[in-house]
């Protein structure tokens, strides 16, 4: 590389992991729709299977198009590498399954995406993995919840849907004091708004379905490793993480930390989790996410700019109660957000609509530009009522713990003209007010 | 594999197979601010193709106890002692960057007991800019970033090392940061400044080269900004070295993992007759 400084974010977003195709000269990343890749010889085949040479064998394990996405995401996050998965949920599962098994325990923020809450609360206990949920910014609760069998601390950069700002420096310091890694869901913030590794997180994943792809077209996930967690030191201290520090009979008796000092986690995740659970990404999906990433910074700037205008409008409207957006001084995480998220707090937020359930229904149905659906991070603006949809399995106590009421409305602000979005919301709020009078 | 060398614990990765000193042996020696993992593909390949492999952690690096030793000559003495501890009589030596200087000094000491010498990403003199040394002393994290950028020639090496999905810049930075912090935490000081000062000070290559008896291979990167190929010419002539040039930067194993393995394969296979363990000698 010319010069002595790392390439900047936008350069990495366009070039990391991809060069013109040597076979064809194609400048854009080719989509390699091939299940498998030809060996040069029997020796070459054996060497690839035994990690004596680098290359692709079978697209469940690795694929040239997916590799570009993985390397590019790792570059943007400041990690050592990444694994593309079938969804964000698959990325979360892969992270947990690589480190935890029956008899393991996780400490998690209670402010989570409903799907993550389902996995931790209902599904993983069937496989012997328990989770203790704690308020995201109650550090004493985090500390008290850690047990000898704890393998992982977990939270979201901005907790869904109340946008609780995770105090990553403090929680990661606690994790490291106890020889534990911190896993962070960075979907809402993307590496453009925050790079969690710089604040102490050890593992990051994204639902790439959202802002990374950015166009509401594909389902995918990416799991990234910082390479900075010392699994051997943690094992020596507590006996944890034998999965990475002791011979693994399922793959040539490999000791992953011997094989790759900074890539041991990803090596096992790929050679076991991706191989055996099989939640891999389609190369077509990887290509569409790459298309999104190429314009990530431009889109995030516009997402944040539009959101600020919408929040300002809503904050002055008589039908709007609390707004959960950390850029507002009223938000509990305001000071932390100024420190960790100087570029902005994203474009997903919630507010409480005054009035009754009838008013909420009128609000949703009066919207013309906002789409009523279960997603966020689309270039189009979206709306949903969490209590009846994404979080409907949670009882009132759990909803309250997650900062959700029956009147909570979640918006995902897109890239449309902000004046049109404000007009649309104004009309819907008027409809809600009218419904309340009837 | 853990050994005791000069009263201190030393570690060598054996390529995924139990080390057998009766096999022909190849020793891999990493460069500045690295450990055995930068040579894992190469180590595994030869461990599964007839060699006994010792991919070392130099003192103060990774799992080998510190402090680091002060010179390439001292490190070569340490390698010779390690070979004795492992029961190895003869071996091939492969070193990258700073490790290539140590491999050269070791080959000079071993004489006929060195079967092959491979110097990857090498140059002599291996001068380090005053600016980088100063940064290493006063801003080691900044120095790591500079070194990392200078070591790579592309944002898209294909395929990555050790496999697809690895981001070489990030992997190299994380490894150097961990080694730097681990060395400091052990109370030994500044590993970056130690390693790069060692390279900068080293002046014994021509004398060592005169004592090397075995065939020599240089594997150089055409785009190497740390040890440009022209910096290896004079030494290569003295050693009568074969030359393989790859279209990559200083991080050859990272940017051309299969190219390096292939060049080594052509030079080291088939293995020479099995070495004689010291115990049996």
Strand partners of residue B27: B54, B93
User: Residue holding tokens 């990234």?
Assistant: A224
Can you give the pLDDT at residue B273?
A: 63
pLDDT in tens, A157-213: 999 878 999 999 999 999 999 999 999 999 999 999 999 999 999 999 999 999 999
Give the separation between CA A230 and CA B10, rounded to whole angstroms: 19
Residue B74, phi then psi, degrees to nearest 5 = -65, -40
Nearest CA in chain A to B178: A228
* Residues of chain A found within 8 Å of residue B145, distances taken between Cβ atoms: 4-6
Residue A55, phi then psi, degrees to nearest 5 = 160, -175
Partner residue opposite A4 with nearest CB, options B150, B177, B261: B150
Q: Exposed, middle or buried, A369 (CB in 10 Å: 0-12/13-18/19+)?
A: middle
209-238 in A: which are within 8 Å (CB) of B? Answer: 226-228, 230
Chain B: give the shortest CA distance to residue A31, in Å. Answer: 15
- Residue A273, classed as helix, strand or coil, is helix
Q: How confident is the model at residue A6 (pLDDT cuts 50, 70, 90)?
A: confident
* Residues of chain A found within 8 Å of residue B171, distances taken between Cβ atoms: 80-81, 227, 262-263
User: Is the CATH number of domain B2-280 3.40.50.1820?
Assistant: yes
Q: How confident is the model at residue A394 (pLDDT cuts 50, 70, 90)?
A: confident
Chain A: give the shortest CA distance to residue B60, in Å. Answer: 15
Asked if B246 and B220 touch (Cβ cutoff 8 Å), the reply is yes
* Residues of chain A found within 8 Å of residue B36, distances taken between Cβ atoms: 258
Asked if B260 and B252 touch (Cβ cutoff 8 Å), the reply is yes
Can you give the pLDDT at residue B275?
A: 46
Q: Fold for A28-291, please state it.
A: 3.40.640
pLDDT in tens, A359-374: 888 999 999 999 999 8
**Which residue pairs, CB below 8 angstroms and at least 24 apart, start in A322-326?**
A322/A351, A322/A352, A323/A349, A323/A350, A323/A351, A323/A352, A324/A161, A324/A162, A324/A163, A324/A349, A324/A350, A324/A351, A324/A403, A325/A163, A325/A349, A326/A158, A326/A163, A326/A165
Partner residue opposite A259 with nearest CB, options B40, B62, B153: B40
For the record, the structure tokens of A58 come out as 């079978």
DSSP one-letter string for A32-59 = ---SB---SSHHHHHHHHTTSS---SBT
* Residues of chain A found within 8 Å of residue B16, distances taken between Cβ atoms: 50-51, 252-254, 259
Partner residue opposite A4 with nearest CB, options B146, B153, B160: B146
**Residues A297-437, CATH architecture:** Alpha-Beta Complex (3.90)
Can you give the pLDDT at residue A95?
A: 98
Q: Where are the domains of chain A?
A: 28-291, 297-437
Q: B interface toward A at CB cutoff 8 Å? A: 13, 16, 35-37, 40-41, 44-45, 48, 62, 145-146, 148-150, 152-156, 158-167, 169-171, 174-175, 177-178, 182, 257-258, 261
Give the separation between CA A101 and CA A124, rounded to whole angstroms: 9
Torsion angle, alpha carbons of B136, B137, B142, B145, to 10: 10
Residues of chain B with pLDDT below 70 are: 273-281
Q: Where are the domains of chain B?
A: 2-280
pLDDT in tens, A58-106: 999 999 999 999 999 999 999 999 999 999 999 999 999 999 999 999 9
pLDDT in tens, A101-124: 999 999 999 999 989 999 999 999
A294 at B interface, C-beta within 8 A:
no
Residue A290, phi then psi, degrees to nearest 5 = -60, -40
For the record, the structure tokens of A57 come out as 């064998």
Candidates B44, B166, B226, partner chain A, best to mutate (most A CBs within 10 A): B166
Do the chains contact at B145 and A5, CB–CB below 8 Å?
yes
Is residue A24's pLDDT more than 50?
yes
Asked if B55 and B12 touch (Cβ cutoff 8 Å), the reply is yes
* Residues of chain B found within 8 Å of residue A259, distances taken between Cβ atoms: 13, 16, 37, 40, 162
């Amino acid at each position: 590389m010319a010069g002595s400084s790392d390439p900047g974010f936008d350069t990495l977003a366009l070039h990391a992991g991809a060069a013109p195709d040597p076979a064809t000269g194609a400048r854009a990343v080719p989509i390699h729709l091939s299940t498998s890749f030809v060996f040069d010889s029997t020796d070459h085949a054996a060497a690839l299977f035994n990690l004596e040479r680098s290359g692709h064998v079978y697209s469940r394990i690795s694929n040239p198009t997916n590799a570009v996405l993985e390397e590019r995401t790792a570059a943007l996050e400041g990690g050592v590498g990444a694994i593309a998965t079938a969804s964000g949920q698959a990325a979360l599962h892969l992270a947990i399954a690589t480190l935890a098994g029956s008899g393991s325990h996780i400490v998690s923020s209670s402010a989570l995406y409903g799907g993550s809450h389902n996995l931790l609360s209902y599904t993983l206990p069937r496989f012997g993995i328990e989770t203790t949920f704690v308020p995201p910014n109650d550090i004493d609760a985090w500390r008290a919840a850690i047990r000898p069998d704890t393998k992982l601390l977990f939270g979201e950069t901005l907790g869904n849907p109340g946008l609780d700002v995770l105090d990553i420096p403090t929680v990661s310091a606690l994790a490291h004091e106890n020889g534990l890694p911190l896993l962070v869901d960075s979907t809402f913030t993307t590496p453009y708004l925050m790079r969690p590794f710089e604040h102490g997180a050890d593992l990051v994943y994204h639902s790439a379905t959202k802002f990374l792809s950015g166009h509401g077209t594909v389902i995918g996930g990416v799991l990234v490793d910082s390479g900075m967690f010392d699994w051997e030191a943690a094992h020596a201290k507590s006996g944890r993480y034998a999965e990475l520090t002791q011979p693994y009979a399922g793959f040539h008796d490999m000791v992953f930390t011997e094989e790759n000092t900074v890539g041991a986690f990803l090596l096992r995740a790929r050679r076991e989790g991706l191989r055996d659970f099989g939640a891999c990404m389609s190369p077509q999906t990887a290509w569409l996410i790459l298309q999104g990433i190429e314009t990530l910074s431009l889109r995030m700037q516009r997402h944040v700019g539009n959101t600020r205008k919408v929040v300002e409008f809503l904050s002055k409207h008589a039908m709007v109660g609390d707004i959960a957006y950390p850029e507002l001084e009223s938000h509990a995480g305001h000071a932390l957000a100024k420190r960790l998220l100087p570029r902005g707090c994203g474009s997903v937020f919630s507010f409480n609509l005054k009035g009754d359930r009838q008013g909420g229904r009128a609000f949703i149905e009066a919207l013309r530009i906002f789409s009523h659906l279960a997603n966020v991070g689309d270039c189009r603006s979206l709306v949903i009522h969490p209590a009846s949809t994404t979080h409907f399995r949670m009882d009132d106590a759990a909803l309250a713990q997650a900062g959700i009421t029956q009147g909570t409305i979640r918006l995902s602000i897109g890239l449309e003209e902000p004046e049109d979005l404000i007009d649309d919301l104004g009309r819907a709020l008027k409809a809600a007010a009218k419904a309340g009078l009837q | 594999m853990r050994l005791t060398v000069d009263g201190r614990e030393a570690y060598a990765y054996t390529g995924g197979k139990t080390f057998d000193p009766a096999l022909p042996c190849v020793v891999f020696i990493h460069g500045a601010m690295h450990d055995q993992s930068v040579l894992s593909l190469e180590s595994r390949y030869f461990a599964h193709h007839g060699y006994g492999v010792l991919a070392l952690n130099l003192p103060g690096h990774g799992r080998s106890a510190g402090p680091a030793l002060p010179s390439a000559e001292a490190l070569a003495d340490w390698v010779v002692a390690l070979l004795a501890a492992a029961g190895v009589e003869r071996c091939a030596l492969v070193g990258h960057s700073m490790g290539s200087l140590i491999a050269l000094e070791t080959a000079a000491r071993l004489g006929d007991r060195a079967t092959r010498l491979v110097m990857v990403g090498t140059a002599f003199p291996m001068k380090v800019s005053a600016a980088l040394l100063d940064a290493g002393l006063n801003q080691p994290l900044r120095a790591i970033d500079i070194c990392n950028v200078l070591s790579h020639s592309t944002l898209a090496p294909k395929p990555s090392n050790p496999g697809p999905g690895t981001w070489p810049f990030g992997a190299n930075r994380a490894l150097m940061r961990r080694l730097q912090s681990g060395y400091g935490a052990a109370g030994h000081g500044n590993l970056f400044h130690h390693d790069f000062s060692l390279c900068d000070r080293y002046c014994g290559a021509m004398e060592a080269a005169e004592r090397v008896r075995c065939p020599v291979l240089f594997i150089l990167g055409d785009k190497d900004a740390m040890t440009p190929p022209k910096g290896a010419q004079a030494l290569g002539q003295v050693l009568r070295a074969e030359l393989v040039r790859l279209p990559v930067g200083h991080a050859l194993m990272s940017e051309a993992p299969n190219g390096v393995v292939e060049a080594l394969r052509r030079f080291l296979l088939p293995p020479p007759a099995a070495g004689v363990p010291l115990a049996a000698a």
